[in-house]
Structure 1
């Protein structure tokens, strides 16, 4: 869009006078004071007021036209950008995650799920990604990354889950077709084909317990468009790389470059982000993507894009054409406000990492979350604990506030509670008899109406006490306290009809809930492959068969 050449005309500081075309010289403030003659200039003095009024009317009319014209063009362009944006339903699957409560300063963290789609539904995507025979196949979410911005907006994290991670996928209904997909267990990239981005969001929420505010998806053509708008991003390889088909492994992104640092844009940027074989694995592809995004953030900050109207316009055009977003952020203003919040985080307070994982015992080509280590990462996100060691948990004050309990609605012997066994997980078989053991413990503590639920196949990483309505919150809290379960694990849920204790994989033995360690800032598990956003020294190693 061409910038208006008349913006601010007539108001520029330093312009002292301008001719009105009738011999009158006006001050730069538009006052129209007559400067053609002195006190004794006769006719000029008598005609001054009329001429002055004419000049004021002309100036006001001209200014109004200019303002309306400029505002009209801006409004039309704003509507044009809004028209570019594709929108979708935030969540389309069953999920129990709850939005974080504000801390003592009224702040809440923000979580955005970024999904890279391998859709071949357009000519542009087929040209860039190949697979012309795959046009009719539903897209897969091969890149999935959670962007977490702390409540105080002083730190951020980017967490990837490898596409071949086997996880529970909830029941989802595709909002575009109304087709319902039953709950299943599969690799996480298939969730996009089972109800769109809203199903992927619900899958993440159930896996992590983190409430996700928004999602964004981008396809091959969108990556190229955004990379061009940014103007190039620096990446680095330690050896010459060529990601091409080999006798043993077909396919490849086509990325070819010499060792060292290079600025990539357009198609080359897409090749970098898609390369897998040359890095050795999907896990290393996630590392390359983190390096690219960190470099991109540094580039945008260096460009002062938020104060450069031309650069901002180019990026706005590219972004609105490239991204599909959840409907609650589906306007230019909301996306801009989102960007301004992200802008405030310094690069040395941004940490990117990959979910701790181990080989899937059911399929060596897949991975599953690494139990304790993955849970620690999810807890840090839920509690808003920084991944670096430069800050402290902004939600720490919130925990003290949660210690206040509501009174139970009835004596212990009259409080009804159902106990469910959900001790199974992706890597652990369920512990037999857990629901009965815990229910009996409650009976011995005086909760005579406690009973077990015999439903099989339930799975929860963490123990939780759920209640359906406000009048039962005190009962749920009372049950939790009697077993040593933290009050932060007491959740309101419409999925239960009464107080329900779900014994998760974190409580496999004993009759008292095991004390959980509280994560501290920067204390990440060792297998996260974490990278700091300001680190420019990182280069990718190339797997030997793809060196040249």
Structure 2
């Protein structure tokens, strides 16, 4: 009885320590940028207290451009959301952007939106979106798409399909991930290493807090829009700025 109790205690302590080490590793994997410090005060005001605007980017590992950009507006009560896709080939004015070496990239009157990333990374994309919309970006989430290749390897699957995409739900179920905590940590390690955020979302507790805040958001209350290329664009930005329902698509 005493031996069994000691063995169980040692096992529990070992599992707890392993869990803490895994959590610490995942937490430190995330790259956080102090966007507020880098961009300073020359930014749009927060016109809708309580509402939250998050810029989601999907970038390639070479840093050539942001492959995907979505502006997510969460309403003050977190009961509705607007997701605006910004096509990467949209022609936009790009403001002067701070560079990592301390310099500044000069502004450009008309450039392809996706190239802002290659000029000054995700911070330049934030500044470009704010200048385009006059809406404050509260948080940044940038995922390096190269992680999907590593994710496929960790799941024991290959990327497939005409577009090279991974059928993630089937891969997760087929891999036995849900009953394999070691592999689960490996997957989480892959994703967190590929994640860059602003300093306000730069830890697992911050990310989990954001997730919990939208746990009751119904999918039917999420409006999806693609940024128009005509005067309707300003009506859409106004809705986000003032925390209002979006105009008709």
Equivalent of 2:241, from 358, 382, 387?
382
Aligned-CA RMSD value: 3.5
Matched, 1:86 2:11: no
Instruction: Write the distance in 1 (CA, Å) between the matches of 2:196 and 2:162.
Output: 20
Pair 267,177 (structure 1): closer, same or farther in 2 beyond 3 Å: farther
Q: TM-score, normalised by structure 2?
A: 0.78
- Please identify the structure whose Cα radius of gyration is greater: 1
* Secondary structure of residue in 2 paired with 1:325: strand
Q: Give the aligned partner of residue 441 of structure 1.
A: none
Equivalent of 1:207, from 123, 129, 132?
132
Pair 384,158 (structure 1): closer, same or farther in 2 beyond 3 Å: same
* Secondary structure of residue in 1 paired with 2:69: strand
Instruction: Write the distance in 2 (CA, Å) between the matches of 1:336 and 1:319.
Output: 14
The CA deviation string for residues 126-168 of structure 1, in whole angstroms up to 9 with x for no partner, is xxxxxxxxxxxx5212321112222211122221111122222
Equivalent pairs, count: 237
Instruction: Write the distance in 2 (CA, Å) between the matches of 1:180 and 1:81.
Output: 33
Q: Higher helix share goes to which structure?
A: 2
Q: TM-score, normalised by structure 1?
A: 0.38
Q: Give the aligned partner of residue 344 of structure 1.
A: 216
The CA deviation string for residues 60-98 of structure 1, in whole angstroms up to 9 with x for no partner, is x88875664443222211111123222333254474212
Q: Give the aligned partner of residue 58 of structure 2.
A: 116
* Secondary structure of residue in 1 paired with 2:101: coil
Instruction: Write the distance in 2 (CA, Å) between the matches of 1:207 and 1:187.
Output: 13
Pair 375,101 (structure 1): closer, same or farther in 2 beyond 3 Å: closer
The 8 Å contact of residues 224 and 269 in structure 1, kept in 2 or not, is answered as no
Matched, 1:97 2:44: yes
- 1:174-185 equivalences under 5 Å are 174=99, 176-185=100-109
* Secondary structure of residue in 2 paired with 1:96: coil
The 8 Å contact of residues 90 and 328 in structure 1, kept in 2 or not, is answered as no
The 8 Å contact of residues 59 and 144 in structure 2, kept in 1 or not, is answered as yes
Matched, 1:150 2:75: yes
Pair 325,348 (structure 1): closer, same or farther in 2 beyond 3 Å: same
Instruction: Write the distance in 1 (CA, Å) between the matches of 2:139 and 2:78.
Output: 17
* Secondary structure of residue in 2 paired with 1:158: strand
The 8 Å contact of residues 89 and 198 in structure 1, kept in 2 or not, is answered as no
Give unmatched runs, 5+ long, in structure 1.
Answer: 1-18, 22-57, 103-107, 121-137, 233-264, 274-291, 358-369, 388-522, 527-548
- Point out the more displaced range, 68-77 or 325-334: 68-77
Structure 1: 4+ residue segments shifted above 6 A? 61-64, 227-232
- 1:236-275 equivalences under 5 Å are 266=159, 268=161, 271=164
Give unmatched runs, 5+ long, in structure 2.
Answer: none
